Structures are given as structure tokens and as C-alpha cells.
Amino acid sequence: RLFLSMADLSKPRLGWVGTGVMGRSMCGHCLRAGYEVTIFNRTPAKMAPLISMGARAASSPKEVAEHSDIIFSIVGFPRDVREVYFGEQGIMAGARSGSILVDCTTTEPTLAKEIYAAAQAHSISALDAPVSGGDVGAREARLTFMVGGDRAVYDRVLPILQFMGKCFNYMGGAGSGQHTKMVNQINIASIMVGVVEGLVYAYKAGLNMEDTIRAIAPGAAGSWSLNNYGPRILSRNFDPGFFVEHFIKDMGICLSECAKMRIQLPGLELSHRLYCQLREMGHGNLGTHSLILAFERMNDLTIPAQQLTVLGQPPAPAPSTTAAPAGK
């Protein structure tokens, strides 16, 4: 088949590569919507919750592609994306003409374009569709999608994306989704620094930290990061919604793209240095809000765990994993 028919798209067979913090929830929504899904994860145990929901386990990304019409992927690093797509047992080795590939990993725009070109050469369609919203957004099906590729392909996949998210943005040709995600990460990098600096200041000033968050959140200082990660920081719950290691990867991609564009972003550069220091402290597998630990060290203090009342307890974190990313 050269193209999927509309009948096929009413209930296409889905494939899913990467069932970590983000992928597990995203794939779960597709299973609940009644789709037939074949899955692969390099750590087999990570597939168990989805298998119990009816997913079929495959032994490789290639096998996933062989049994699927639309293949989603969300893994960790650009090297993982390259292996998943172009390896001997990769998606491209098993995908058929007419298949659609949707990579939700945050990766290099140039790699997204490379996947798109390779897919086109085999009458396969490809979208780069990174997401934002973290583990909470994935669990609650409230993710934001930033998508690059052919508009017609985006329109055909959108009904499936709608089971996983609340905000959908077609950004242009191949690589545009990844460039948009870079803008997202640049903003988050500086916002997170502001959040933890503000909390350190509040602590040293003797303020009630929960009351402080409640006071500033509705105004211009409010942000998703403050509202969602502030309570976790106060509870000293640093389980990952998004890994420090993966955020450093994203900022590295941003800085590489900045070099190509010949632009300087000093806020991004500072955030990157601070997160690298956090990784050197041994916290690469904690959540990005654990940046507070680096600020505690540089200021020779430890903020004790707070018993939250008005803000309530933060959402239950997804279990820690190194097999797949937590996105964004």
C-alpha cells in the first residue's frame, strides 16, 4: 500500500517504541481508546503495565514497525533516536510503504529532517512531534504537541494525538516541531532558575514558603513550573517528571543550534552550567526541579521538608526510569 485509506485511519494499528515515564502514559491512552498497539522498550519490565492493558510486546523496533500502520517513538537521546530508526533492528528496517512515523522525542532538528528524508525515499511519512507537559501532562492527557512535517500527514494523525493531549500546534516543515521545542526549553531553563532562586530567598527571609508560592502564583511571577514543581520542592520530592540528564541534553541541542545561528543566549548558557553542576553532584536521574539542591549547596543550607496545607500534596510522581525520557 502506498497510502493509508480513510478506513485504515479510523482504527489503524499503532506501534510504540519507548514506554518510560512519558511513553507509558501516552501509549496507555491509546489502548484505552481501543487501538491495537504493539510496543517495544529496551528494558522489557517497563512494558508490563501496558501488556496487562492489552498491548502486544515486540522484540525490536523493527518488529513494531512490521505490525503497525502508525509508529510512535519517545526515547532518551539523539543517539537512541538514531538507533531506533536506523539501526539494523530499527523502525526503518520494518516500516512499509504508507506507514507514518511520529517521533515525540526531543531531539536535534537536523535528525528530524534526516528521518523525514529517509522515510520519503521509501514512500513513508514522518512527523517530528515533541511534547511539553511532563509526567503529569502525560498521565492526564494534557500534553502540548509541537509538530513538524507535512500538514496533510499531521491532519491524519491529529485524531490520535487528541487522546494524549490538549494543545496541538502544526509548526511547519520537517524539523519545525523540534525547533519549537527548543524555544520551549529555553524558556523553561530560565524559569526554573527563577523558581528555585525565589524559594531560597523566601527561606532565608524567614517567610512561610507555602504562603509565598500561594501569594505570587496568581500574578506575573506565576508559572506552570512554580505551580507544579514548587509543592514538590517544598515536600522534597525530587522524583522525575523530566530527568536532569535529559534536560541537559535538550539545552545542549539548543546551544548547538544557537552556534549555527550565531546567536548568544546567556540565560540559557547559565542554566546549562547550573544543571551540569547538579549532574556532577550525582543527581542526573532526578527531576529538573531538583536544581534547588545545587542552590542549597552553593549557599550552604538545606531547606527542610514542608508539611503542605493550602497547596495540598503534589501529584503522585511517575516511577523513576532510565530507559525512556520523561518529556517535557
CA angle 48, 178, 220 (to 5 degrees): 95
Residues 6+ apart with CB under 8 A from 270: 193
CA distance 312 to 202: 19
Concerning whether 181 is annotated as a catalytic residue, the answer is yes
CA distance 116 to 59: 24
Q: Is residue 240 within 8 Å of residue 21, measured between CB atoms? A: yes
Q: Is residue 266 within 8 Å of residue 255, measured between CB atoms? A: no
Q: 3-state SS of 21-60?
A: HHHHHHHHHHHHCCCCEEEECCCHHHHHHHHCCCCEECCC
Task: Find the largest Cα–Cα distance for the chain.
Answer: 67
The CA–CA distances, whole Å, from 314 to 139, 201, 229, 241, 311 equal 14, 22, 8, 12, 8
In the three-class reduction of DSSP (H, G, I as helix; E, B as strand; rest coil), residue 73 is classed as strand
In the three-class reduction of DSSP (H, G, I as helix; E, B as strand; rest coil), residue 175 is classed as coil
Q: 3-state SS of 186-239?
A: HHHHHHHHHHHHHHHHHHHCCCCHHHHHHHHCCCCCCCHHHHHHHHHHHHCCCC
Please pick, among 181, 204, 249, 328, the residue that the annotation labels catalytic. 181
Of 4, 43, 1, 23, nearest to 103 (Cα)?
23
Catalytic positions are 181
